Structure 1
Amino acid sequence: MLNTNTASRKVILATWLGWLFDGMDSSLYPLVANQALGELIGGNNPNFGQIAAQITAMFLLGWALGGFLFGYLGDKIGRVKSLSLSILTYAMFTGLSGLSHTWAELSVFRFLSGLGMGGEWALGVALLAESVKPEKRIMSTAFLATGFSLGYCVAVIANFLISPFGWRLVFLFGIIPAVLVFFIRRNIKEPDLWVSIKEKINNPFEIFKRKYSYNLWAAFFLNVTCTIGSWTCILFWMPLWIERTLGGNLNDKTIVIFISMLTHALGSYSAGPLLSIYKRKSILFISYFMTFLTAFAMYSFFHSYSIGVLLIASMLGFFFGIIPASFAIYFPELFPTKIRTTAKGFCYSTGRIVTVFGVLYSGFLVQKFDGNIGHAAAVMSIMFLIGAIISLFVPETNKTVPL
């Protein structure tokens, strides 16, 4: 697959599994939300949409704060130690989510699991980018990015097999990633690029120095549009849209989400060869714009379940998959080693704080549209159009040399 040495292969495997389990655990709530909240607050509760959105907002807030915390720790004490802590955190609290007795308890557990997931994103990319051969970095990172969507596929299968026995068992399944920590601690060493930096970061506010500011805010605004769009159009509302608006059943939801996440993985891996040939800005613009078109069309023109939903969701998954994979390749190029995980943690995390308000607003829209999730998601798809416009003004890197 990738012409790298044994140590690099272990890093690729560990970080890919980290992203896979991250995708799996972060996706369990959207898949069981209808069943879980049906028990905790009642499926016909008029505030269903707002409460469902509030729980997701708490998760994203935790994800944001975790990115700050673990991103800083990654630059301070090392990528490997911080990555291990982040995985343990999200695995443990995902499992504990299955013990919730109220929607408020579920919110707290989702917040705490979000802390760990926020760290894993920034740390995994930095660890991989600094560990593999420079000429293999782009394709290795594209492969890494497939982990999240394939993790969502694992969550879909787990939900299909386990949810008939209760949504709580689905969350307990989410504790499995904790096993990965033992592999990481035994087999992965800190990258030489980080170890060789004699002066480690002492002040996290160093990322706001003028020489880093344009790159920092470019990455920030790209991430904001992607994160709001993804959580209000795809990752959170799509499963509920299929069930509550289109009238689909568990089989329909499983097939659509599974296939769309497979095409998402294909899009993620495609980012590697695309970014090896074409400019970063061009690929970002096209993928953002096509994601907007397919999301807006899907939510605007489909009002009952049909094969057309599966086809357009597959297209949406492919185009959307290119965006986060491009970030994983592009963002490390924007910052020097000393501040890399802190800066990326800020971009991911602050973007998710803004996304909290986007998700809450989408919940308000669902209520305003009398529970029609499709209308709300169509409005929120405009975030991808805004992202396409922003991508025209970001700095170009096209780096294939060592970071």
Structure 2
Amino acid sequence: MRKRHLITTFSASEMAEFDHEMAGIVKEHRKGTSKSFIADKSIFDHYQRDIVQSPDSTWREIIEFTLYIPGISWLLALGVKHQLRRRRRRDLFPFWHPPVQLDSGTIRTVWTLIGISFLNSYYATLLGQLLTFTAREFHNSTATQGLVLGVSRLDIIPALILLSLADRIGRTKVILFSTAMGALFSTLGAISPNIYFLAGDQVVTKAFATASILLIAIVSSEKVPANARAWSLAALVIGSALGAGAAAVMLPIAGISPGSWRILYAVSIAALLVIKPFSKHLHESRRFEVLSKAPYEVPAVKRSRKNRNALILLSVSTFLLNLFTIPASQFRNQFLSHDRGFSAAAIGAFTLITATPGAIGLALGGRLSETRGRKLVSVAALVLGTGGLMLGFLSHGLWIWIFALAGSIVAPAIVPALGVYLTELFPTKYRGTANGIIGVWARFGSIVGVVTVGYLGSTVYNNVGTPLALMGAGPLILAVIVFFKFPETKGLDLETINPEDSAYHES
């Protein structure tokens, strides 16, 4: 890891601002009575701060550090240096950091989960990204495309089996197995003889990817502190967005020739190269290890009124959300290509330019959910984000870019603010199964959405933009439900939210 240095010169009168232990993104400890400080390992692999006097009687603060996070340490270093230069705000956490310290083990786990999210999101995104090009080679109608997208949402049924299995044998085993199998079946899509073979292949591929993505969120929520669950979910979704973005960056390849879309499926096989390295940093949570030793009591958990109400509430919520979000994602290229005349390269540029800033909404949504509350952020993001995207599907020319960009920045805040409830509102031994059941209703919502948009686009409106805008009513109704029915779980331990887990730990 590269060592980085930050040097600040100051006068003796400013000593009080420097000669103390910092407790923001770095938790310092003074070395004896000296003016030297070291820190616990967190995002830092090495950290030391020294205050020394210069020959001209001025003082210098010299900070030497290396960052743990591989791959993006150069980007993270910019944020770290900016924060450390802010003398009077050093003890505060910046917007991109959770409002709590994370130890090095937790950071390694989250970073590994981000990498796995990237892979699974890549394979899960390919069908929606490439369907326009696939249908063009196989001469399929918009209605057929809608049917294929709807059928592909049946992936949650085999995924539910994997999620229930994970509650028994362990989340990490199922994550690694599913990631490997997802890579294999995604690669198989490259030799599809027709769109129906591809649809079946993608049901299996997405089943493994869906199970992995849901279990990744569960492992993360069980590993991180109470004040970092929404933040960690935002970080995972950024990893997923980068995976989807990788497919978007490669999208121009699909336009080279009628069959060049197959290349994007074929490269999925490369994911097998990183499964073993990832496995070294992925371990079961302490919560799961404790509860796995207790008798398996899912049936008793299911009869709990609290858990039943939470299951109904979140099932309805994900149904309403997916009425719009999944069709909006999967028909976006069809909207741009057929309705607005975008080329393959223009679609790739549009996706990259409008989707990449979504990381801002994810980061702010995760942080604000930990500081301002999940409900406030959820309602604001549902109303403003959905509204922007709806207007984008009804617009032309420059306004498409403006509304899509605004909606894409705000809407992603929904994911950490609302998504964190999926892991928080259920006890550990039922968390995977509950997420699978909720996923069934989410898929049902997406099937209704994509089939409706496909049908209306082919028979009523002769475009997909108007039907997509109509589906935006789902998230707007959900905003009302969140405001009146959802609990606020900000800062609460999982054992406080789920007393069943406390009973196991006490025993």
Does TM-score exceed 0.5, indicating one fold?
yes
1:196 aligns with 2:290: yes
1:22 aligns with 2:120: yes
Match of 1:133 among 211, 216, 225: 225
Report what 2:187 is aligned to.
Answer: 95
Aligned mates of 1:204, 1:22 — CA distance in 2: 31
Report if aligned partners of 1:54, 1:360 keep a CA contact under 8 Å in 2: yes
Cα gap change, 1:342/1:364 in structure 2, threshold over 3 Å: closer, same or farther? same
Aligned mates of 2:295, 2:203 — CA distance in 1: 30
Aligned mates of 1:16, 1:251 — CA distance in 2: 28
Report what 1:308 is aligned to.
Answer: 399
Aligned mates of 2:299, 2:447 — CA distance in 1: 23
Offset at 1:31? 2.1
Report if aligned partners of 1:49, 1:371 keep a CA contact under 8 Å in 2: no
Match of 1:230 among 325, 328, 339: 325
Aligned mates of 1:172, 1:114 — CA distance in 2: 16
Report what 2:247 is aligned to.
Answer: 155
1:104 aligns with 2:202: no
1:181 aligns with 2:271: no
Structure 1 residues 35-114: aligned runs within 5 Å: 35-40=133-138, 42=139, 45=140, 48-62=141-155, 64-114=156-206
Aligned mates of 1:49, 1:94 — CA distance in 2: 23
Aligned mates of 1:246, 1:205 — CA distance in 2: 54
Task: Return 129-138 or 95-104, whichever deviates more.
Answer: 129-138
Cα gap change, 1:328/1:10 in structure 2, threshold over 3 Å: closer, same or farther? farther
Q: Secondary structure at the match of 2:269?
A: coil
Report if aligned partners of 1:207, 1:213 keep a CA contact under 8 Å in 2: yes
Cα gap change, 1:353/1:199 in structure 2, threshold over 3 Å: closer, same or farther? farther
Report if aligned partners of 1:71, 1:342 keep a CA contact under 8 Å in 2: yes
1:239 aligns with 2:337: no
Cα gap change, 1:120/1:207 in structure 2, threshold over 3 Å: closer, same or farther? farther
Aligned mates of 2:211, 2:299 — CA distance in 1: 15
Report what 1:33 is aligned to.
Answer: 131
Offset at 1:257? 0.9
Offset at 1:200? 5.2
Offset at 1:264? 2.1
Cα gap change, 1:201/1:313 in structure 2, threshold over 3 Å: closer, same or farther? farther
Q: Secondary structure at the match of 1:393?
A: helix
Give the helix-richer structure, 1 or 2: 1
Report what 2:82 is aligned to.
Answer: none
Structure 1 residues 209-220: aligned runs within 5 Å: 209-220=304-315
Offset at 1:342? 1.5
Report what 2:214 is aligned to.
Answer: 122
Report if aligned partners of 1:66, 1:118 keep a CA contact under 8 Å in 2: no
Q: Secondary structure at the match of 2:102?
A: coil
Structure 1 segments, 4+ long, off by >6 Å, are none
Deviations 1:83-108 (A, max 9, x none): 11221232221111111001110110
Report what 1:250 is aligned to.
Answer: 344
TM-score (norm 1): 0.91
Cα gap change, 1:200/1:393 in structure 2, threshold over 3 Å: closer, same or farther? farther
Aligned mates of 1:397, 1:199 — CA distance in 2: 29
Q: Which amino acid aligns with 2:471?
A: M
1:400 aligns with 2:494: no
Deviations 1:224-252 (A, max 9, x none): 1222211112x101111111110011222
Q: Which amino acid aligns with 1:106?
A: L
Q: Which amino acid aligns with 1:367?
A: S
Larger Rg: 2
Report if aligned partners of 1:97, 1:106 keep a CA contact under 8 Å in 2: yes
**RMSD between aligned alpha carbons?**
2.1
Identity %: 19
Report what 2:465 is aligned to.
Answer: 374
Q: Which amino acid aligns with 2:332?
A: M
Report what 2:35 is aligned to.
Answer: none
Give unmatched runs, 5+ long, in structure 1. none
Q: Secondary structure at the match of 1:301?
A: coil
Aligned mates of 2:262, 2:313 — CA distance in 1: 40
Match of 2:384 among 270, 276, 290: 290
Report what 2:373 is aligned to.
Answer: 279
